[in-house]
Structure 1
Amino acid sequence: MLRFALTEADLGNVRFGLSPLCELGLSLRALRDPARYPLQLPWLRRTEQARAGLDLDALMALVDERLWTPDFLNPRPLSPLTRLSDELDVLRALPSQRFTEQLLLVHQGRMPAALDGPPRAAIARMVTALEGLWAAGFAEYWPRMRTILEADIVYRGRQLVQYGLSTMLNGLAPTADFDGRVLTVRLRDPLDRDVAGGAGLTLVPTMFTNRASAPIDPTEPPTMFYPARGQGAMWQAERAANPAALAAIVGEARARLLIALGEPSSSTELGIRFGVSTSAVNQHLRVLREAGLLTSTRYGHSVLYLRSALGSALVAGG
C-alpha cells in the first residue's frame, strides 16, 4: 500500500505529463509477461519480427519477475512535450551509483548478469538496447499511441473542470483511491509506504499498466502512472456501421468520422484508423467543425477533435 499525503499546495499543483521513456520502460512488462497485458498482444504480434534482433538480455535485466522496473526508466515528466532524445540523454548521464542501487533494489540485492560490470559500459549497453526497442516497436506506432495518451489527458481535464478533483482522481484506476487528502495506491508490493507531498502531484497515462503504478523510491516526488483510456482501440480498424440517414446527410466519410469522434482523436490517428491520408481527413474535419458538429482542442503539438453536442445529437438521430 502506497499513500501520498498531499498538501493544499499539492492539490493546487496537479499536473499531467507524457514520457516516451516511461512507455518504453513499462513496455518491458508486456515483453516479460504477455499474458498480463492482453490489450497489447496485437502490439507484440506486430513487432515480433522486428524485435528478433534486439539485445533482449539487457532489456530483460531491467525488469524482474514481479514486473518491477527501476525508477530511472520512469522519469517524472515536466512537460507534455517531453522528447525521447532528451530523456535518453539524461539516461546516458545517469550517475553510476544510482544505476547500480536501483537495479539492486529491483532485483532484491542481485545484479543481473547482463548489466553486471563497469557501470558506464552497462549504462551505454542499456541505452543502446532501449534505442533498438524504440526503433523496432514504437517509432512506427508512437504517433497513434501519443494521441491516445493525449486524448486521455484531455478527458481527465474535462472531468476535473466538470466534476472536481476528487472525482477525477478516483476515476484514474481501480487500485487508486483519493479521500480528499491522501491518494492511496494499492500496489502488489506488500510493504506499506508513505510519501510526503510538497512537490505537486504528477499523473502520467500509459499504455502499459493495468493498475496504478508509482516510483519505487519513496524519496521521489508524488507521481502515479495509470492506464490510459482507449487502449483497446489502438490496434483495431474502425468498423462502426454508418447509419444510412446520417450518411445521407453528411456523406459516408464524414459520417464515419463523426461516429469515431465520440472520443478525442487527432487527424493523424484518424488517417491511420481509416487508411486515408491526413490531408483528406483534415478536409472533412474542417467542414464538420465549421458546421458545428465537432470541437477541437490543442494539446502540445496535436489538435484533438471531439463531437460537439450537436454532432452527438445528429449521430443519435441517425
Structure 2
Amino acid sequence: MLHIHFTDSDLAHTRVAKAPDPLWEIAFSMHRLQTDQGRWAFADWRRAVSGRVREQGLRPVLSTVLLPLFPRTSYFPDFLTPQLASEGLDAGLEAVMATPDQQVRHEIGLLDQVAGAPAWTRRLSERDTREALVQALRAYHRALIDPFSEQIQAHLEADRAVRLRDLLNGGVPGLLQGLAPLMQWRPPVLEVPYVAGRHHLHLDGRGLLLLPSYFCWGNPVSLADPSLPPVLAYPLKRRLLPDATADRDRTPLAVLLGSSRATVLRSAAQGATTGELARAAAISAPAASRHANALREAGLITTHRHGACVLHTLTPLGASLLRGAAAQ
C-alpha cells in the first residue's frame, strides 16, 4: 500500500493531467505486451500493433532494447518518464537525453537488482547509446501509440469530465474521494494499492499530478524516487464487454428505456464519447447518437464538445434515475 500524505498546500497544488503523457503510455503499453492482464480491454490494439511491429521491423529493437528497460516488475527507471513529457513527446525525449549521467547509472543499477538489466544498458550514460534509445522510443510511439491518439485522448477527456464534476461538487477533497474504489481518501492521506509493503510519499507542498492512463492496468503507479515531482498514474475505468451486460436487459431501467438506451445512460455515468457509448451498447455510432439525443432531450444527460471529442455525462436527474434503479 502507498500512503500519500497531503498538506493544505498540497491540496491547492493537486491537478489532473490535461493530455496523455506519451512516455508513460509507452511504458504501460509495453507492459500490456508482456502480460495477459486486461487482455480483453486491449484486444483490438494488440491485434493491430502485431502487424505494425512486423511490417516496420521493430521486433528486434522491441525485444532487445525496449522491453528489457520496461519489465513488468515492481520497478523501471524513473528517467524514462520525466515530468517534461507532459508537454509532448519531443520535450519528454529531450528530458531523457538531458538526464544526469549519475542518475542514469543509479537507476540502471536498481533495475539490474530488481529484474536484471542487459549489459548494454550500462552504456546509457553515454550520449550515443542514449540517442539510439530515444530513436527507438520515437519509432515505437509512431507505430504503436500515435495511430491511436484520438482514442486515447477521448478516454482521457471522459475521465477528466468525471474528475471535473467531483472537483466542482467537493473541491480537491471531492476529487480525491472520487478516485474510489481504486483508491481511498482518508484525510489527509490517499491510500493507493501498490507493490508489496507499506510505502509513504510526503508531498511537502509540491502537490500531486494525477495522470489518467489509457494503457495502465490494475494498480496505480508512481515514481520510485520520492525527490522527483510527485505523479500518480492510474488506469482509466473500463466498461464491461457487451455480452457481460446481457443480464441487464430485464432490469426495470431497461424495461423503462429499452436495453440499448439504458446501457447508453449507464455508460454516460463515467463520461463517454459517442463511440464509447456505441461500443458499450454494441450498436452503431449513429444509433448511439440517436439514443444520446433522446436522453439529452429528456434531461438525463448533457453533451459538451472538447476539441474534436464530444463527451456525454449525466445530469443530476440522470444520476438520480440511475441511483433509484440501482436501489430496486
Aligned to 1:90: 95
Aligned to 1:250: none
Moved more, 60-69 or 152-161: 60-69
Q: Residues 265-280 of structure 1: matches in 2 within 5 Å?
A: 265-266=272-273
Query: Could you list the runs of 5+ residues in structure 2 that have no partner in the other structure?
Result: none
Whole-Å separation in 1 of the counterparts to 2:67 and 2:311:
36
Q: Residue 44 of structure 1 is aligned with which of 36, 43, 46?
A: 46
Whole-Å separation in 1 of the counterparts to 2:198 and 2:74:
16
The one-character-per-residue Cα deviations of 1:45-83 (angstroms, maximum 9, x if unpaired) are: 33222123321111112123525222233344796xx43
User: Do the aligned residues in 2 keep the contact of 1:4 with 1:222 (CA within 8 Å)?
Assistant: no
Q: CA deviation at 1:295?
A: 2.2
Aligned to 1:226: 234
Asked if 1:74 is matched to 2:76, the reply is no
Aligned to 1:180: 187
Asked if 1:211 is matched to 2:226, the reply is no
User: Do the aligned residues in 1 keep the contact of 2:84 with 2:95 (CA within 8 Å)?
Assistant: no
Whole-Å separation in 1 of the counterparts to 2:108 and 2:158:
33
Q: Residues 256-267 of structure 1: matches in 2 within 5 Å?
A: 261-266=268-273
Q: Residues 110-121 of structure 1: matches in 2 within 5 Å?
A: 111-117=117-123, 119-121=126-128
Q: CA deviation at 1:287?
A: 9.5
Q: CA deviation at 1:283?
A: 10
The one-character-per-residue Cα deviations of 1:101-125 (angstroms, maximum 9, x if unpaired) are: 2222233286423433253222222
Q: CA deviation at 1:189?
A: 4.5
Whole-Å separation in 2 of the counterparts to 1:86 and 1:78:
6
Whole-Å separation in 2 of the counterparts to 1:269 and 1:190:
37
User: Do the aligned residues in 2 keep the contact of 1:4 with 1:197 (CA within 8 Å)?
Assistant: no
User: Do the aligned residues in 2 keep the contact of 1:70 with 1:103 (CA within 8 Å)?
Assistant: yes
Whole-Å separation in 2 of the counterparts to 1:311 and 1:179:
29
Asked if 1:157 is matched to 2:164, the reply is yes
Q: CA deviation at 1:129?
A: 2.0
Supply the AA of the counterpart residue of 1:96.
Answer: D
Aligned to 2:143: 136
Residues 1:254 and 1:191: Cα distance change in structure 2 (over 3 Å)? closer
SS at match of 2:227: coil
Residues 1:67 and 1:188: Cα distance change in structure 2 (over 3 Å)? closer
Q: CA deviation at 1:153?
A: 1.7
Whole-Å separation in 2 of the counterparts to 1:38 and 1:221:
31
Residues 1:222 and 1:92: Cα distance change in structure 2 (over 3 Å)? closer
Whole-Å separation in 2 of the counterparts to 1:166 and 1:125:
44
Moved more, 50-59 or 224-233: 224-233
Asked if 1:63 is matched to 2:63, the reply is no
User: Do the aligned residues in 1 keep the contact of 2:161 with 2:313 (CA within 8 Å)?
Assistant: no
Higher helix residue share:
2
Q: Residue 122 of structure 1 is aligned with which of 116, 124, 129?
A: 129
The one-character-per-residue Cα deviations of 1:166-194 (angstroms, maximum 9, x if unpaired) are: 45424426563332112233421436344
User: Do the aligned residues in 2 keep the contact of 1:174 with 1:211 (CA within 8 Å)?
Assistant: no
Supply the AA of the counterpart residue of 1:214.
Answer: S
User: Do the aligned residues in 2 keep the contact of 1:144 with 1:268 (CA within 8 Å)?
Assistant: no
Number of equivalences: 307
User: Do the aligned residues in 2 keep the contact of 1:61 with 1:114 (CA within 8 Å)?
Assistant: no
Supply the AA of the counterpart residue of 1:220.
Answer: L
User: Do the aligned residues in 2 keep the contact of 1:64 with 1:107 (CA within 8 Å)?
Assistant: no
TM-score by length of 2: 0.72
Q: Residue 27 of structure 1 is aligned with which of 26, 29, 49?
A: 29
Residues 1:132 and 1:275: Cα distance change in structure 2 (over 3 Å)? farther
User: Do the aligned residues in 2 keep the contact of 1:143 with 1:269 (CA within 8 Å)?
Assistant: no
Q: Residue 107 of structure 1 is aligned with which of 89, 112, 115?
A: 112
Query: Could you list the runs of 5+ residues in structure 1 that have no partner in the other structure?
Result: 248-252
Supply the AA of the counterpart residue of 2:221.
Answer: S
User: Do the aligned residues in 1 keep the contact of 2:108 with 2:121 (CA within 8 Å)?
Assistant: no
User: Do the aligned residues in 2 keep the contact of 1:214 with 1:225 (CA within 8 Å)?
Assistant: yes
Whole-Å separation in 2 of the counterparts to 1:292 and 1:307:
9
Moved more, 255-264 or 127-136: 255-264
